[in-house]
A and B are shown apart, each in its own frame.
Chain A
Amino acid sequence: AAGVIQSPRHLIKEKRETATLKCYPIPRHDTVYWYQQGPGQDPQFLISFYEKMQSDKGSIPDRFSAQQFSDYHSELNMSSLELGDSALYFCASGINRVPTDTQYFGPGTRLTVL
């Protein structure tokens, strides 16, 4: 079965640079969630989109922005990168913003900021 695809899998950037992470949800899933997992920490919710509109916002820094496109893929744009942004970034997809529905997680993008 198709799963959530994230690219790139690994990314190395320097401070103050920008980064773009991409997420391709499972086919027919209309909701995308972004999470940040710091080293040894639990995933923290950043932001979610339903039908190309932002639906919820968590602890996403102002330096970050995201959007969902007409084909339902999503991109997380990160600017003015800081050392503390080094983390594993997960994308998850689901259906209809239903909280009972399972969120299916991608393999993550590991971002390292030097």
Chain B
Amino acid sequence: AQSVTQLGSHVSVSEGALVLLRCNYSSSVPPYLFWYVQYPNQGLQLLLKYTTGATLVKGINGFEAEFKKSETSFHLTKPSAHMSDAAEYFCAVSGNNDMRFGAGTRLTVKP
């Protein structure tokens, strides 16, 4: 079975500061990992995904994540936060035919 744990239900950063959202996974098979963003009253939008190959994955809106097997982690980062990044972020793992989501991290960006 697969699962993900997101550390920190709320993260607050200042505009221009580094964004770091943490995700650890558990999987009995090679994991396929995803980060989705959800803006208020909207659906889930894919930021990036890791399947195989390069462990540093670049996504949309300047986000990237690094797959670290030794740490079972897939943390999401962005060098400089924008006000428009304020949203809920979900880490997810897929190893079979469904997707398991973490509890989500709400990112707040302060002016």
Contacts and interface: CB of A to CB of B under 8 A. Distances in A.
Nearest to B97: A56
Interface of B is mostly: loop
A58 B98 contact: yes
Interface stretch (A39-47, A62-70, A73-81): A39-47
| Interface residue range, chain A | 20 to 34
Contact of B94 (A41, A50, A99, A108): A99
A45 B1 CA distance: 14
Contacts of A92: 44, 99
A29 B34 CA distance: 19
Nearest to A108: B43
B88 to A, nearest CB: 9
Contacts, number: 57
Nearest to B50: A100
A97 interface: yes
A106 interface: yes
A37 B104 CA distance: 11
A33 B52 CA distance: 23
Given A105-B44, A105-B45, A42 B32 contact: no
Contacts of B98: 33, 45, 48, 56, 58
Interface of B: 32, 34, 36, 41-46, 49, 51-52, 90, 94-104
Interface of A: 4, 31, 33, 41-45, 48, 50, 55-56, 58, 90, 92, 97, 99-100, 102-108, 110
28 contacts: A4-B43, A31-B97, A33-B98, A33-B99, A41-B103, A41-B104, A42-B90, A42-B101, A42-B102, A42-B104, A43-B90, A45-B100, A55-B97, A56-B96, A90-B44, A92-B44, A92-B99, A97-B97, A99-B96, A100-B32, A103-B99, A104-B46, A105-B36, A105-B43, A105-B44, A105-B45, A107-B42, A108-B42
